[in-house]
Structure 1
Amino acid sequence: MSQLPEQPSRTPVPTSADVARRAGVSRATVSYVLNNNTTVRISEPTRRRVREAAEGLGYVPHAAARSLRAGHTRTVLLPAAQPPLHESLIGTLESGLRQLDYTVVRHNSAGFDADEAARAWAELRPVAVLAPAGVSLTPYGMSVLTRSGARAVITLGPRSVEGAHALVLDEGETGRCAVRHLLARGRRRIGVVMPREPGLGPFAEARLAGAVSAVEESDVEAGVVPLPLGYEESAAEELAARWRSLRLDGVFGYDDQYAALLMRALQDAGVGVPAETSVIGAGDLVLGRLLRPRLSTVGTALAAPQPPAELVDRLIQNPHHERERHDLLRAAVVARESS
C-alpha cells in the first residue's frame, strides 16, 4: 500500500489579531484602517503602523468575510479588451478603484448574448458592473444584476441603456471631426472604413453615423461611402486595386491602424496620398507620425466630470439615485500631410 509523502507543516495564516498585536492596537482599529473606513478618527501614524504590521505579516483581509459583514462584495467588474480610448478609461478606473479598496475583476463577454453575460456576471456577486458597448443589456439582465446585489450597473460606449447609468463615449463625434476636416480640404466623395473585426461593429456604426451627419450639416454636395475592410494586407490590397473605380477623393480610416494599412496599400497601387486621396485616421498613435506622408488623425481625450473611480464609487454609495449620464469624449483633428 503506497503512502502519501509527508507534507511539510503549514505556516499559520496571519489574522487581524496578529496585526493588532504587532501594531499595538485593537482588532477594530485594524479593520477600520485596512478597510479605509474614514468615519472613525485614527491618526496617520497609527494608520501607518497598522499597514506596516499587515505588510510585514503578509496579512490580507478576507474578502468573503468582509462581504458577509457588509451585505455585498466590493468587486467591480470591468470589461476586458476594449478599443484604445476605452482601454485608457478602463486602466484609469482600475487603478483608482483599487486605491478605493475595491477588488477589480476584468470580464470577457465574448460569445455571450446580453442575458447570458448578465447571468455570468451576477454569479460573481459584484457591487458594480461596467458593461461594454457590445452587450446591450435587457430589462431582464438589469433585474438579474440588481437582484444579485449590484448597486450600480453602468454602460460604457456610444449608447445608454434604460435603467443603467451611462458613461457615454460618443464615437460619432470622431467621425464628424474626421469628415468635417476632409470637407474643409475640398474632398467631396469620402470613404469610411468599416472594420470587419469582431466587436468593433457598434463603434464603427457610430463613427459612420457621425461622418454622415457631418455631410448633412455642411452646405456642400458630398457623399459618404462605407468601406468594409478586414485588418489584413490582402484585404487592403484588394480595396486599393479598385480604388479609382470608386471615385473616392478622401477616406476616414476608422482609426490610425486601419488608416495606415489602407494608405500603404493605396501607395503601392499608385494612388497618390494626398494628391488623389486624402487620408485621416483616429487615435493619434505614434505609428501615424512615423508614416510618410505623416498621418492626419482625430485625437481623442476623456473629459470626465470627476475622476472616473470616484464617480463609480459615488454611484455605488447611492444605489437609489436617479440614473446618470456623462458624456466623456472630447475630439479634435490633428492635421498632417496625409490629408
Structure 2
Amino acid sequence: MTQTPPRPPAGPPARRPVPTSADVARLAGVSRATVSYVLNDTSAVRISEPTRRRVREAAEELGYVPHAAARSLRAGRTRIVLLPTAPVPVGPLYGHFLNELQWALRRLGYTVVQYASMGLDGDEAARAWAELRPVAVVTFGAVELTPHGVDVLKRSGARAVITLGPRPVEGAHSVPLDQRGVGGCAGVHLVERGYRRIGVVMPEEAGLELFSGPRLEGVRHAVTGSGADVVALPLACAEEAAGALAARWPGLGLDAVFAYNDEYAMLLMRALLDAGVSVPGDTAVMGADDLLLGRLTRPRLSTVRIDMETGQHLAGLVDRVVRDPDRTPEGGDLMAARAVHREST
C-alpha cells in the first residue's frame, strides 16, 4: 500500500509586492510622470479629467499610496505642518477652530501632525519638532518658544514658524490672539451693571495660565478708575474644589465673579446655589465661550462670546508664508469678543 508523503508545514503566507507608481502607470496606460502629476495634484501640467480619473482608479485598485518620504526627498522639504497640542483641553471653541484648520491645510496639500509636547520645555520641544522636518509649525503657546528654538526649526527646513498669542517671538511670524479682550469685556459688563467686588476664577490646571492670566489682566484694566476691586480665585475643575470655594464665599464679600470659561462658571454657579448663595441676587456669575449648555442652565448664564476667524483663514496664511517666508502675514487679531447679558448677571 502506497502511503502519501506528509505535507511540509505551511510557512508564512507570501507577502504581496508593494505596488509602485510604475504598476499604476501600466494599469492606467500612462507614463510614470503622469501618475506623479495626478497623485501629487500638480497644477502646472495640464492633464485631462478622464486621464486623472483613470490614474486614480488604477491607484485605488492596486492599493498604491505615494511615498511621503521619497516625495519629500525629491522636493527638498516635507509637506508636514506640525501643531503642538496643549497639555489640557482648551474647550469646544478652540477644538472646532483646530478641526477647521486641519481640514483646510489638508485641502491645500499639507500633512497635519499633532505633536504631544507635554514635559518638554521651549528649546527641547523645538529640537523634538525639528526631527520631523516640518515645513511649518503653528503653536498656540502650549510650549513657549524662544528665538533659539525658532532658529533650530528654520535650520531644519521649517519655512514658517507661526505663534498665536499675546507675546511675539523673535524670528517667528506672530499672529495676535489676545485673551485680554475677553477679560476686558467681562469687566466692563460687570462694572456697568454696578458690581464692585469682582472675583476672577483662575484654573489650577497646568497649561491654562496662557489664557487665564491675560483674561485676569483684561478685567483689571477694564475696571481701572471705577473703584472696583478684583480678586483672583484659584479653582480646580472638580466638584469638591467648587464646593470648598462656595463654603467660604460669604467671607469673601464678592458681589460678582467672572469665571475662566462657561464650564468653570457653571461648575461654580451650581456649588454656590447648593450653598444657598443666590445668583444673581447675592453674586452675579459670568463665563466665556457662549456654550449652548450655558443657555440651558437656570439662571441662564451671562458670558463673553468669542468670534474667531475660520481655520481656513489661518491655513491660507500658513500657505502664503510657506511660499514666501519673508512676507509679513496680513490681518489683525484672529478673535473678537463681546459680552452677552443673560439672567446670571
Q: Which TM-score applies when normalising by structure 1?
A: 0.93
Contact 1:127 1:150 in 2 (8 A): yes
Partner residue of 1:25 out of 12, 22, 30: 30
Contact 2:151 2:171 in 1 (8 A): no
Q: 1:135 to 1:326 in 2, by over 3 A?
A: farther
Partner of 1:212: 220
How far apart are residue 25 of structure 1 and its match? 2.1
Contact 2:100 2:311 in 1 (8 A): no
Contact 2:285 2:344 in 1 (8 A): yes
Contact 1:36 1:100 in 2 (8 A): no
CA distance in 2, matches of 1:322, 1:335: 38
How far apart are residue 322 of structure 1 and its match? 4.2
How far apart are residue 286 of structure 1 and its match? 2.1
Contact 2:204 2:235 in 1 (8 A): yes
Identity in percent: 62
CA distance in 1, matches of 2:260, 2:306: 13
**1:160 pairs with 2:168:** yes
Partner residue of 2:140 out of 106, 128, 132: 132
Q: Secondary structure at the match of 2:303?
A: strand
Which range moves more in the overlay, 316-325 or 151-160? 316-325
Which range moves more in the overlay, 323-332 or 236-245? 323-332
1:194-228 per-position Cα deviation (integer Å, ceiling 9, x unaligned):
00011101110011111111112xx5221211111
Contact 1:78 1:90 in 2 (8 A): no
Which range moves more in the overlay, 289-298 or 39-48? 39-48
How far apart are residue 100 of structure 1 and its match? 1.8
Partner of 1:14: 19
Partner of 1:284: 290
1:97-141 per-position Cα deviation (integer Å, ceiling 9, x unaligned):
112221111011111110110011011111111123132211221
Which range moves more in the overlay, 190-199 or 325-334? 325-334
How far apart are residue 289 of structure 1 and its match? 1.9
**1:299 pairs with 2:305:** yes
How far apart are residue 326 of structure 1 and its match? 4.0
Contact 1:176 1:214 in 2 (8 A): yes
Contact 2:85 2:142 in 1 (8 A): no
Partner of 1:88: 96
- Opposite residue 236 of structure 1, the aligned amino acid is A
**1:148 pairs with 2:156:** yes
- Opposite residue 83 of structure 1, the aligned amino acid is V
Q: Give 5+ residue unaligned stretches, structure 2.
A: 1-7
CA distance in 2, matches of 1:305, 1:102: 14
Q: Which TM-score applies when normalising by structure 2?
A: 0.92
CA distance in 2, matches of 1:226, 1:11: 64
Which range moves more in the overlay, 168-177 or 20-29? 20-29
Q: Secondary structure at the match of 1:244?
A: helix
CA distance in 2, matches of 1:31, 1:151: 24
Which range moves more in the overlay, 219-228 or 199-208? 219-228
Q: Which has the larger radius of gyration?
A: 2
1:29-67 per-position Cα deviation (integer Å, ceiling 9, x unaligned):
211121121111223333233222222222111011101
Partner of 1:263: 269
Q: Give 5+ residue unaligned stretches, structure 1.
A: none
Q: How many residues align?
A: 335
CA distance in 2, matches of 1:329, 1:98: 23
Partner of 2:55: 50
Partner of 1:102: 110
Partner of 1:185: 193
